[in-house]
Amino acid sequence: MKAEILRELRTSGDFVSGQDLCDRFGVSRTAVWKVIRQLEADGYDIEAVTNKGYKLLSYPDILSSAELMSRINTQWAGRKVYFKPEMESTNEYAKYLAEEGKDHGSLVVTNAQTAGKGRRGRQWISPPGEAVSMSLILRPEFSPDRASMLTLVMALSVADTISQLHPELKVSIKWPNDVLVNEHKVCGILTEMDAEPDYIHDVIVGVGINVNQKEFPEELSDIATSLRIEKGEHIDRAGLIIGTMEYFEYYYGIYAEHLDFSCFVQNYDGYLVNRGREVRVLDPKGEYTGTAEGVNDRGELIVNLPDGSARTVSSGEVSVRGIYGYV
Ligand code: BTN
């Protein structure tokens, strides 16, 4: 009921009478009052006036199930939120919940990760209250070889969300799935799958967004940034989560229908920071350089080589760098 009352207060934007809330949810005035007290304890600023009711005065940057569920308008992506203030890793908790049988679209969110995981076994730092750390549980009905492109679909969803909410920021994607602002990384995505050769049990798509960090450790400062640093103001994390779920749900529907990346190529290439630039392909079979052209309908990067031939690079095998550094 907390999420529903919060939704009522938020959508009304004005006073909502206690009696209306009682009638609507079939509960007593005391029950409504208790929820209002809980919301205040969570940090919401609510004005209570006799004979008028309750009015939400401000929208603090709070992450909780109630906050997210009071704002989300999707059909399935993020409709069920599993929130805890602290977790080791949202991907690990999502894996546990997936094994417990939680639904397609269930979203795990935390305010702080103590053992966040990056790609290639790296560590991912998500300081308390400053980042978005979330993992979406998916149960695709397609074959496992189609799942890797979901990472690119998520990168596009995050890029579109940041662009829509903060149009003044220069958003790009470093193939395959780093989202950048001003050519510095603001988001990483870690997709993990539990599958048999021809059947997917579940896919966990983990998303980490640097939102309100004011600074980064020296070794990361050339590569990473946060939305706050780039925009110069505090950013609402719940809005980013909700926007990403809305875009992802829409794009997932398209992807599940076509099972290739063709519908997204134009949008994705529009963000591609490597496009038209020289890149170094760190292939375990031998490094090479070339000019990145864009992605194909399998989400692979097309790299034109100096001899006029082209190679396609798939994300599982290799990583791609700019020839002078990260991009
Ligand atoms: C990368 O190395 O770029 C991927 C980083 C992915 C980090 C996110 S944060 C939420 C989710 N839980 C994790 O432990 N990792 C992912």
Contacts of 294 (CB under 8 A, 6+ apart): 265, 268, 269, 272, 275, 301, 302
pLDDT digits (tens, 9 = 90+) for 46-68: 999 998 999 999 878 889 999 99
Measured in Å, how far apart are the chain's first and last C-alpha atoms? 47
Asked whether 122 lines ligand 1 (CB < 6 A), one says yes
pLDDT tens readout for residues 280-320: 998 888 899 999 999 999 999 999 999 999 999 987 656 78
| pLDDT tens digits, one per residue of 226-269 | 999 999 999 999 999 999 999 999 999 999 999 999 999 999 99
pTM: 0.93
Determine the pLDDT at residue 317: 59
Query: Residue 300's pLDDT is what?
Result: 94
Atom of ligand 1 nearest to the CA of 178: 3
How many residues are there in the chain? 327
CA of 133 to the centre of ligand 1 (A): 7
pLDDT of 175 reads: 93
pLDDT of residue 316: 65
The owner of tokens 């550094």 is 325
Q: Among residues 161, 296, 245, 107, which one has the least CA distance to residue 169?
A: 161
Best mutation site among 82, 91, 178 for ligand 1, i.e. most ligand atoms within 8 A of its Cβ?
A: 91
Spacing, Cα 123 to ligand 1 middle (Å): 8
Mean pLDDT of the chain: 94
Q: Does the CB atom of residue 151 touch ligand 1 within 6 A?
A: no
Cα dihedral: 181, 184, 189, 190 (round 10): 180
> Residues 73-122: pLDDT tens digits?
999 999 999 999 999 999 999 999 999 999 999 999 999 999 999 998 99
Q: What pLDDT is stored for residue 1 in this prediction?
A: 87
Is 155 a pocket residue for ligand 1 (Cβ < 6 Å)? no
**How confident is the model at residue 52, as a pLDDT?**
92
Exposure string over 130-168, b if 16+ CB within 10 A, otherwise e:
bbbbbbbbbebeeebeebbbbbbbbbbbbbbbbbebbee
Indicate if ligand 1 lies below 6 Å from the C-beta of 161. Answer: no
The pLDDT tens digits of the residues spanning 28-46 come to 989 999 999 999 988 899 9
